[in-house]
Amino acid sequence: MALSTKYNPTEVENKWYQYWLKENFFQAKVNPAKEPFCIVIPPPNVTGVLHMGHMLNNTIQDVLIRKARMEGKEACWVPGTDHASIATEARVVAMLREKESKI
């Protein structure tokens, strides 16, 4: 079989997504006997555009979670949470004022 010269995300991602679903990789199995290790990831900043700093931050977090798992810890990487939500709230309030004359 020849290796494709171009990456086909639909072909590749669909294959692996089905495998992850079949293997229950999206289901957490908490083991209270292990030392917990958690990283909470805020969503991208709604006031700007994504940049290399976001990628660097996520790469570092990925490395830290993988290291914790290799050390036998109960590692949990929680994406999409906002620890303060100040920027998000300000953006939503401004949007509501502009588009819906609310607030």
Amino acid in the structure at residue 25: F
Is 38 strand, coil or helix? strand
Which pTM does this prediction carry?
0.55
Determine how β-strand 36-40 pairs with β-strand 74-78.
parallel
The tokens for 32 are 């209270």
With bands split at pLDDT 50, 70 and 90, how would you rate the model's confidence at 37? very high
Amino acid in the structure at residue 30: V
Can you give the pLDDT at residue 93? Answer: 87
Q: Return the residue matching tokens 């570092």.
A: 60
Can you give the pLDDT at residue 102? Answer: 57
